[in-house]
Amino acid sequence: SQKIEQNSEALNIQEGKTATLTCNYTNYSPAYLQWYRQDPGRGPVFLLLIRENEKEKRKERLKVTFDTTLKQSLFHITASQPADSATYLCALLGSARQLTFGSGTQLTVLP
Amino acid sequence: EADIYQTPRYLVIGTGKKITLECSQTMGHDKMYWYQQDPGMELHLIHYSYGVNSTEKGDLSSESTVSRIRTEHFPLTLESARPSHTSQYLCASSLVAGSQETQYFGPGTRLLVL
Nearest to B47 by CA among B31, B28, B63, B66: B66
Query: What is A3-106's CATH number, 3.40.50.800, 2.60.40.10, 1.10.10.60, 3.40.718.10?
Result: 2.60.40.10
Distance between A80 CA and the closest CA of chain B, angstroms: 22
Average pLDDT over residues B74-98: 92
Tally of domains within chain B? 1
Rounded to an integer, what distance in angstroms lies between the CA atom of residue A8 and that of residue A23?
10
- B83 φ/ψ angles, rounded to the nearest 5 degrees: -55, -30
- B90 pLDDT more than 90: yes
* Among candidates B101, B102, B105 on the partner chain, residue whose Cβ is nearest the Cβ of A43: B105
- B71 pLDDT more than 60: yes
DSSP letter string over A13-79? EETTSPEEEEEEEES---SEEEEEEE-TTS--EEEEEEETT-SEEEETTEEEEEETTTTEEEEEESS
pLDDT at A67: 92
Q: Which CATH number do you get for residue B26?
A: 2.60.40.10
CB proximity B110 to A under 8 Å: yes
Query: Whole-number mean pLDDT of chain B?
Result: 92
pLDDT at A8: 72
What are the extents of the domains in chain A? 3-106
pLDDT digits (tens, 9 = 90+) for B6-17: 999 999 999 999
Rounded to an integer, what distance in angstroms lies between the CA atom of residue A51 and that of residue B111?
37
Calculated CA dihedral for residues B81, B86, B87, B88, nearest 10 degrees: 60
Window B:77-106, CB contacts with A under 8 Å: 88, 90-92, 94, 99-106
Nearest to A107 by CA among A40, A13, A3: A13
Helix (H) or strand (E) holding B106: none
Question: Phi/psi class of residue A79: alpha, beta or left (left: φ > 0; alpha: ψ in -120 to 50)?
Answer: left
Q: pLDDT tens per residue, chain A (111 residues)?
A: 888 999 878 999 999 999 999 999 998 888 889 999 999 889 999 999 998 889 899 999 999 999 999 999 999 999 999 999 999 999 998 767 778 899 999 999 999
Q: Is the peptide bond before B8 cis (omega within 30 degrees of 0)?
A: yes
Q: Which residues of A touch B92 (CB under 8 A)?
A: 43
Per the structure, the complete domain to which residue B92 belongs is given by: 4-113
Contact B107 A42 (CB under 8 A): yes
pLDDT at B60: 82
- B2 pLDDT more than 70: no
Specify whether the CB–CB gap between A6 and A21 falls below 8 A.
yes
Average pLDDT over residues B22-43: 92
